[in-house]
Chains A and B, each alone.
Chain A
Amino acid sequence: MTVSPLAAWSDRLAALAPVLDAAEVPFRSQLTVRVSDPDAIAAMGSTLGVGFPSAACTFTSGTGPCGDVEVLWLGPDEFLVTAPPDQQVTIEEVLRGALGTAWGSVVDTSAQRTTVVLQGPRVRDVLAHGCSVDLHPASAPRGTCVQTLLARTGIVLQVTGDDRVTVLVRSSFAGYLAAWLVDACTEYLAVP
């Protein structure tokens, strides 16, 4: 049996509606990829059916043999590949194959972070209480991906829609993040 980091928080997160539709999406496959060789990056992208992001602070998404896959830019030579649950072993294999003899690494980090999807018209307002990144649509359009702080925990933040973001948080910090979100919604819940 598996237990996700925010299993105990699902009710409290659900109670944030209608201010925020907040839910953990547990057990997603996640692989940290370190690579800078352009040929290897291209090979990895074509293996997954999703090109790796070339611009900083963005992510790409698409569907391929491993299902719906997203590739997040985390640094000049660092990417996070995310996919539905139970794909991590396959993806690690295919990415290793694509890496070939080029410099780089592929590491299964699926349980390192958990995934929280936040949606609703107040999502930017709520996040602005703890995130210093400008989330205005003009500055952070769909496809934006940044590593930043939300209050006192590090997060990876993906803008996935007009009023929708995905937040990846270290598993040990997930409880803090959930507690912070619940508290941040207090005022909005009182005056919707």
Chain B
Amino acid sequence: MNLRTPTGGAVDRNTVLHFTFNGTEYTGHPGDTLASALLAHGVHEIGSSVKLGRPRGIVAAGSEDPTSLVQVEAPFSEPMLLATTVELYDGLVARGLAGQGRLSAEPDPARYDAKHEHCDVLVVGAGPAGLVAALTAARAGARVVLVDEQNQAGGALLGVDEYLDDRPSAEWVADVVAELRSTPGVLVLERTTAFGMYQDGFVLALQKRTDHLGFAAPASAARQRVWRIRTRQTVLATGAHERPVVFADNDRPGIMLASSARTFLHRYGVLPGSRAVVFTTNDSAYCAAIDLAESGVDVALVVDARPEAPARLATECAARGIEVRAGQVVTGTDGPGRITAAHVGDERIACDALLVSGGWNPVVSLFSQARGKLRYDAELGAFVPGEELSSVRVAGSATGELDLTACARQGRDAGAGAARAAGFTAGGQVPLPASDSRCTARSGLVLWRVPGSDDTSFVDLQRDSTVADVLRATGAGLRSLEHIKRYTTIGTAHDQGKTSGMIAAGIVAEALGVELAEQRPTTFRPPYTSVSFAALAGRDRGELHDPVRVTSIHPWHVEHGALFEDVGQWKRPWYYPRPGEDLHTAVLRECKATREGVGMMDGSTLGKIDVQGRDAGAFLDMLYTNMMSTLKVGRIRYGVMCGVDGMVIDDGTVIRVGEQRYLVTTTTGNAAKVLDWMEEWLQTEWPHLDVHCTSVTEHWATIPLVGPRSRDVLAAVAPDLDVSNEAFEFMTWRDTEVAGVPARVCRISFSGELAYEINVTAWHGITVWEALMAAGERYGITPYGTETMHVLRAEKGYPIIGQETDATVTPQDLGMSWAVSKKKRDFIGKRSFARAENNRTDRKQLVGLLPADPSVLLPEGSQIVETDRLPEPPVRMLGHVTSSYPSAALGRTFALALVRSGHERIGETLYVPVDDSLVPVTVTESVLYDKEGARRDG
């Protein structure tokens, strides 16, 4: 069937595009949407409904369409697109959906991106009001962004054949757009939907940049772009959507909105059918009836619900042989799928298209998102903007205005007002176009529904929600539209109730016998139309998904086969497997080499903060639980930091660099948090202290050199340094040269072994690392990763913040009462240590666990129970395993755990459920290796 008109429409009839829908091949033209191309072949049936499986067609011509959901299969599978907004391209393959699509299992090869844009005046919508608003603001010299959802400017003018100022409206539109484009500081974006409006003039818009090119879309271009627009003033010229009327069997394909049928005619040169019935409550549908009749459609009847038909339009209809019946309604339809007849009175009028108009709903979504209050306009039967906002203006039919010149005037006022508010005085006044439209701008009768079978009277065609569902909700006692929306799901589909929400509100008000003016409309939320996750993700995928932070020595780790562990955003070497080694064997080797010879690791990720000022010592005394101000220059002290609740938040070392200068280290993951913590106290509580903190984390590369032979290796690369134990004591530091590079060497150990931490600027990191490797070669120097570090420290019972601690653990719980000063008058957390809760003897305390079977490795996180048989639940849990490793030094497995009254239980046997058995374990002190500390000095 060919329903393409011989002439007319903005499609390129000289070019034929081939496409496939539901397995059948069709043709169309550039300028078509998938919907218009299908209608040109008489195809109305797109898919079926989500719950009831009833056939679904095309209701509207744009993004408000509730039904024409398709899955595009080629070029790339994409679900839940509207046939009315998919621009046709050659080779398109699509199929109709039953309310649900299917995400592709393949990664989307297209690029998506985002761009920030700033302007003085943002205009949303390029219909008559928006165009005049944008031009007015542009002439005033403002930076203007004009966004419009369609592939060309014009808005409602695209769907009519009216003349403006005695010439086709397209010419007027083209002139305005041309002037806008040639004005510096103006950005016009087509195919761009402003979908979210937020505080302070922040608007998100989605631009579909290459979707319409199909297979020809260049791979290098972002397919879609999220514009992140920050504007001082906004003009919303978002237009209005036609509203249907609900009646029995109103969901058949072939039933569409009257103005949409008119749009298909004028924009695409496509007829909705061969014989049409028009059902209206207002004047606007008469234009559709007359235009379609003039294009060859047999318009059988105009059914006007109003008691009297408008005289002039009725006469024009009569002149074209169109019967008009006033005071009547359509009460039902027939058809196997597509409509074959409309019920009017007792008659069944044969037709293959039923065009409906129930009036117009201003598009107030963005206004409402901007927190603008809405007001019910009883004459329009719609919610309209109900207040003026300081930075958001509304113009055109979005205000409820129906007359074109009046809309354009509103646009001019809004554009000038917005420019003025942004500090620009008006430039040349934009003349207002006059229309030749035969349809007078009058609102009609407000009619939500025609009484009939409630079960087949569909309110939300996408959700299969009917009048019966609404009445069930009100019958159940629901009164709020928000509740009824959730109960019935009306307005929750892809279209967010653009055509159904207002009607649902009307039916609810009728059912409850209340005035709509007293009902609060449901909240409009972003996004206005569907936005894919791919677009929102943009370029933040793959390697750009999250920054990967690397140290200056990273290239060496990669080159030497390290596997990496993610620590926050850092990539840290986890272990360095040799051929054939797994984690277990590699770590045992690394541990053994370090305890018996020498190992080294990249510790550059440790947080480092320079603390300077006269009061630096006093400040650190407040921050750490132990005393720092008594530390002598040249010495180092371990410190624990607690929150105000007395719970451990971080630990590290404090180096006294000078009389008024310290360098503190933090754990890798807490570097930024600790600096913020310091700044917060300095800025809010202790501004009287002369202290300044500066992050130097990335200025320094830090290399722990660990093991009994570390002294030999250091001596080889630091000839100026006396490395003897007497000259360079534990917990002191020296400035010297290492491998010819200025370095600060600290005698710190996180393994219990003789160890040094060598700090050089990050620029020298890799050079010094390689020099140490070379110098250590004769001692079998072994690079090790975080796993070996964890084992070595766990053998010594050193806790890791965040692994042994979880914000409920005090220093005392960790067995570190020695690190809590009893002399200091005050420090953060001190007061909490006196709380009864902190002094309970049954707190969970850090202990070691040795499984009875030395080969059993307890899973970290395992619970710990008291008995060898599980009693009936609830089972009393004594605590959990925090760390668990096989140990080369101990020749067996071991674990650290937080256990109730752990310190008192040393020597007891407890049990750990592993799979289906209870593993007996002996509780020990947390220090399992070298308890006397004999290895520290080498």
A and B held together in a complex: yes
Residues of A within 8 A of B (CB): 1-5, 8, 26-27, 32, 34, 103-113, 128-134, 136, 139, 151-153, 170-173, 175-176, 179-180, 183-184, 186-187, 189-191
Known interface pairs A3-B766, A176-B548; A112-B695 also in contact (CB < 8 Å): yes
A110–B760 Cα distance when bound, in Å, is 12
Do residues B694 and A151 form an inter-chain contact, with CB atoms below 8 A? Answer: no
Do residues A186 and B220 form an inter-chain contact, with CB atoms below 8 A? Answer: yes
Residues of B within 8 A of A132 (CB): 116, 228, 230
Known interface pairs A1-B767, A111-B698, A139-B118; A151-B613 also in contact (CB < 8 Å): no
Do residues A109 and B228 form an inter-chain contact, with CB atoms below 8 A? Answer: no
Known interface pairs A5-B552, A34-B692, A112-B696; A190-B540 also in contact (CB < 8 Å): no
A112–B698 Cα distance when bound, in Å, is 5
From A106, A111, A152, A170, B763 is in contact (CB under 8 Å) with A111
Do residues B610 and A152 form an inter-chain contact, with CB atoms below 8 A? Answer: no
Closest-CB distance, A79 to chain B (whole angstroms): 12
Do residues A112 and B555 form an inter-chain contact, with CB atoms below 8 A? Answer: no
A52–B629 Cα distance when bound, in Å, is 33
A190–B222 Cα distance when bound, in Å, is 11
A176–B220 Cα distance when bound, in Å, is 20
A106–B552 Cα distance when bound, in Å, is 24
Residues of A within 8 A of B546 (CB): 152
Do residues A109 and B552 form an inter-chain contact, with CB atoms below 8 A? Answer: no
A152–B570 Cα distance when bound, in Å, is 14
From A175, A189, A190, B548 is in contact (CB under 8 Å) with A175
B862 at the interface (CB under 8 A from A): no
From B116, B230, B547, A173 is in contact (CB under 8 Å) with B547
Do residues B544 and A111 form an inter-chain contact, with CB atoms below 8 A? Answer: no
B927 at the interface (CB under 8 A from A): no
A187–B690 Cα distance when bound, in Å, is 51
Known interface pairs A2-B763, A184-B539; A136-B116 also in contact (CB < 8 Å): no
From A3, A107, A151, B540 is in contact (CB under 8 Å) with A151
| 18 more CB-based (< 8 A) A-B contacts, given A128-B116, A152-B546 | A1-B767, A3-B552, A3-B763, A5-B762, A106-B612, A109-B696, A110-B699, A111-B699, A112-B696, A128-B117, A129-B114, A129-B115, A134-B118, A172-B551, A179-B544, A183-B539, A186-B111, A187-B220
In the assembled complex, 18 residue pairs joining A and B whose CB atoms fall closer than 8 Å, in A order, are: A2-B763, A2-B767, A3-B765, A8-B555, A105-B612, A107-B610, A109-B699, A111-B762, A112-B697, A112-B762, A129-B113, A139-B118, A172-B550, A172-B570, A173-B547, A184-B113, A191-B220, A191-B221
The closest CB in chain B to the CB of A7 belongs to B555
Would you list which residues of chain B between 528 and 554 have a CB under 8 Å from chain A? 539-540, 543-544, 546-552
Residues of B within 8 A of A129 (CB): 113-116, 539
The closest CB in chain A to the CB of B553 belongs to A3
Closest 7 CB pairs of A and B: A190-B220, A105-B612, A105-B692, A172-B549, A176-B547, A34-B692, A134-B118
A129–B699 Cα distance when bound, in Å, is 29
Residues of B within 8 A of A (CB): 111, 113-118, 143, 218, 220-222, 228, 230, 539-540, 543-544, 546-552, 555, 570, 610, 612-614, 690, 692, 694-700, 761-767
The closest CB in chain B to the CB of A101 belongs to B614
Do residues B111 and A187 form an inter-chain contact, with CB atoms below 8 A? Answer: yes
A132–B762 Cα distance when bound, in Å, is 30
The closest CB in chain A to the CB of B764 belongs to A2
A172–B614 Cα distance when bound, in Å, is 32
A128–B539 Cα distance when bound, in Å, is 13
Residue in A103, A111, A170 whose Cβ sees the most chain B Cβ within 10 Å: A111
Residues of B within 8 A of A189 (CB): 220
Do residues B698 and A136 form an inter-chain contact, with CB atoms below 8 A? Answer: no
Known interface pairs A34-B692, A187-B221; A113-B115 also in contact (CB < 8 Å): no
The closest CB in chain A to the CB of B611 belongs to A105
Closest-CB distance, A134 to chain B (whole angstroms): 4
A4–B221 Cα distance when bound, in Å, is 32
Residue in B228, B547, B614, B767 whose Cβ sees the most chain A Cβ within 10 Å: B547
Residues of B within 8 A of A110 (CB): 699, 761
Known interface pairs A173-B549, A175-B550; A136-B612 also in contact (CB < 8 Å): no
Residues of A within 8 A of B230 (CB): 132, 134
Do residues A131 and B116 form an inter-chain contact, with CB atoms below 8 A? Answer: yes
Do residues A176 and B544 form an inter-chain contact, with CB atoms below 8 A? Answer: yes
Residues of B within 8 A of A32 (CB): 694
A133–B763 Cα distance when bound, in Å, is 31
The closest CB in chain A to the CB of B660 belongs to A105
Closest-CB distance, B543 to chain A (whole angstroms): 6
Residues of B within 8 A of A112 (CB): 695-699, 762
Residues of B within 8 A of A183 (CB): 539, 544
The closest CB in chain B to the CB of A85 belongs to B763
The closest CB in chain B to the CB of A8 belongs to B555
A131–B228 Cα distance when bound, in Å, is 10
A151–B766 Cα distance when bound, in Å, is 28
Closest-CB distance, B185 to chain A (whole angstroms): 9
The closest CB in chain A to the CB of B548 belongs to A176
The closest CB in chain A to the CB of B765 belongs to A3
A2–B570 Cα distance when bound, in Å, is 22
A133–B117 Cα distance when bound, in Å, is 9
Do residues B218 and A190 form an inter-chain contact, with CB atoms below 8 A? Answer: yes
Residues of A within 8 A of B700 (CB): 111
Do residues B763 and A172 form an inter-chain contact, with CB atoms below 8 A? Answer: no
The closest CB in chain B to the CB of A177 belongs to B547
The closest CB in chain A to the CB of B225 belongs to A129
Known interface pairs A103-B690, A129-B114; A136-B143 also in contact (CB < 8 Å): yes
Closest-CB distance, A161 to chain B (whole angstroms): 20
Residues of B within 8 A of A136 (CB): 118, 143
A190–B218 Cα distance when bound, in Å, is 9
Do residues A190 and B221 form an inter-chain contact, with CB atoms below 8 A? Answer: yes
The closest CB in chain B to the CB of A185 belongs to B220
A154–B522 Cα distance when bound, in Å, is 40
Residue in A113, A131, A136 whose Cβ sees the most chain B Cβ within 10 Å: A136
A62–B612 Cα distance when bound, in Å, is 28
Residues of A within 8 A of B543 (CB): 179
Residues of B within 8 A of A180 (CB): 539, 544
Residues of A within 8 A of B613 (CB): 103-105
Do residues A107 and B696 form an inter-chain contact, with CB atoms below 8 A? Answer: yes
Residues of B within 8 A of A170 (CB): 698
Closest-CB distance, A76 to chain B (whole angstroms): 10
A136–B614 Cα distance when bound, in Å, is 44
Residues of A within 8 A of B764 (CB): 1-2
A13–B891 Cα distance when bound, in Å, is 52
Residues of B within 8 A of A2 (CB): 763-764, 767
A172–B220 Cα distance when bound, in Å, is 28
Closest-CB distance, A100 to chain B (whole angstroms): 13
Closest-CB distance, B552 to chain A (whole angstroms): 7
Residue in A107, A152, A172, A189 whose Cβ sees the most chain B Cβ within 10 Å: A172
Residues of B within 8 A of A111 (CB): 552, 698-700, 761-763
A180–B546 Cα distance when bound, in Å, is 11
From B222, B570, B763, A187 is in contact (CB under 8 Å) with B222
A154–B904 Cα distance when bound, in Å, is 49
The closest CB in chain A to the CB of B570 belongs to A172
Residues of B within 8 A of A4 (CB): 763
Residues of A within 8 A of B614 (CB): 103
Residues of B within 8 A of A152 (CB): 540, 544, 546-547
Do residues B552 and A128 form an inter-chain contact, with CB atoms below 8 A? Answer: no
